[in-house]
Chain A
């Protein structure tokens, strides 16, 4: 890492963990915590989608994993009385397992075909959540307790959220922390051999196989990691809203995850984070348009595609500076 990169990273971390909380407490705009927490969590999901793009697959199914992850956490917390902190990795792992089962047959499909299956997955997950007894149908799971205390060997690492004065801040810090870790992992993947191999898949699976890359394994691995991210994001969302319904994550969310990646750019690790921030804030700003919100949003999206059909960041492609 160069000095410049380190400086950038430092600025970013200080902004996220110091400047934002200070700014919010000074301005008194506590509602921003919810917005920024959402952005952080959504960008974790988007990071997963980005990784599947990185192996050359269009993934419009991240909403499904967010929903699955959310339900896993909710069910474990409510019905089995498991600590939220334990359900977090379990939600991720459960999603990875599901994605491996689905990915093994389906990752052979390319382009539009894979995209279709993932999209269908989102809808099927919603329908299953409606139908399965364990998810409590359309009524969903509500009044989920806030995350309890996390302690290791009697040492309290995170206090009980219910006893906190300001759980909003705590959730924000949790989401921001998870986001930073997720992107650090993603950055490391992309800049290690694994990333090179993923990139080789994206460009040419046959050539990759001819140099001995186990293409099928690598695809499933990347998709599994991607789904882990989706599951984690979903689980934290549920902890914040203390409820989950089959419609908590739907097709629109899956499409949005894809949009975040696109808007931010597929060539940059930080792309999905930027895309999520812009799009989420953009959407909220559009609420001034009242009932025309969706219309304006869709029109802007269409106009963008007409103006820059290869993605917004394609405008900066020349710089070619991969972070």
Chain B
């Protein structure tokens, strides 16, 4: 098992408050790893640290041995570490298909000037992106909504679209921020299946931050648990479920361990 992503003692302080404290773990190539923790445990901050959307106070994140902390988010994305968003942040006034096409930006070979002038490469790119978008739409079973405006979509579809956008960049590692939030049981199960297929069929390594315990237990190869900004456990779903520190952390919090 080769690690593709190393998180080394990453720390984030806001003024006097330590949101994430010396968290370290590794993500192996082709695995699905979940980060869980009670509300306010620092999951979201950790997620933003890994995707380099906020700068780390200390520590670093390595991708394939290369340091990606302190790099601009778009450069991290270019390297192949791509995040989705927890909030339903999609290009709202575009259709589902246009959203996905725009998301192919990383793969464009033609320059912006080329696109402006309509060069041959640009036209080839556009065609390829369109085909690829259709492919992704089929892969995630979004055919029914492909020409729908994103602003008209219900929660569940927005998440799927968020994933489709991430997928369009052909990521090596896809970071999913609470992909199951706001979904009902059926939608969650569909999403779980999609994430698994993503890994199985496309070889994408998945790191996700999530609240929904049953889904996490079902989907993950390994789980990292954080509480009060610190890592308190790491292991397979079975190990995590029987870990006394984890149970304690969840019982001590308000949203006590759903399904544990």
Q: Which residues of A contact B (CB under 8 A)?
A: 188-189, 192-194, 196-197, 199-200, 203-204, 206-207, 209-216, 221
Contacts and interface: CB of A to CB of B under 8 A. Distances in A.
A203 B92 contact: yes
A1 to B, nearest CB: 12
Nearest to B116: A192
A207 B99 CA distance: 11
Nearest to A189: B116
Contacts of B53: 206, 209-210
Interface of B: 51, 53, 72-74, 77-78, 82-85, 89-94, 98, 101-103, 105-106, 108, 112, 115-116, 118, 122, 125-126, 165-166, 168-169
A216 B91 CA distance: 18
Contacts of A215: 74
A206 B54 CA distance: 11
Given A199-B102, A221-B112, 12 more contacts: A193-B125, A196-B102, A197-B105, A199-B91, A207-B165, A209-B73, A210-B85, A211-B106, A211-B165, A212-B74, A212-B169, A213-B105
Contacts, number: 84
A194 B115 contact: yes
B171 to A, nearest CB: 10
A28 B165 CA distance: 59
Contacts of A207: 85, 89-91, 165
- Interface-centre pick from B51, B93, B122 (highest chain A CB count, 10 A): B93
Contact of A211 (B105, B112, B116): B105
**By DSSP majority rule, is chain A's interface helix, strand, loop, or mixed?**
helix
Contact of B115 (A192, A203, A212): A192
B98 to A, nearest CB: 7
Contacts of A188: 116
B11 to A, nearest CB: 22
Contacts of B122: 192-193
A266 B74 CA distance: 27
A206 B108 CA distance: 19
Contact of B74 (A199, A204, A213, A221): A213
A199 B78 contact: no
A210 B92 contact: no
22 contacts: A192-B118, A193-B108, A193-B125, A193-B126, A194-B115, A194-B116, A196-B102, A199-B102, A200-B91, A200-B102, A206-B89, A207-B91, A210-B74, A210-B83, A210-B84, A211-B102, A211-B105, A211-B166, A212-B78, A212-B106, A213-B105, A214-B74
B178 to A, nearest CB: 15
Contacts of A189: 116
A216 B72 CA distance: 10
A203 B72 contact: no
A207 B74 CA distance: 10
A199 B150 CA distance: 14
Contacts of B94: 196, 199
Nearest to A192: B115
A215 B102 CA distance: 14
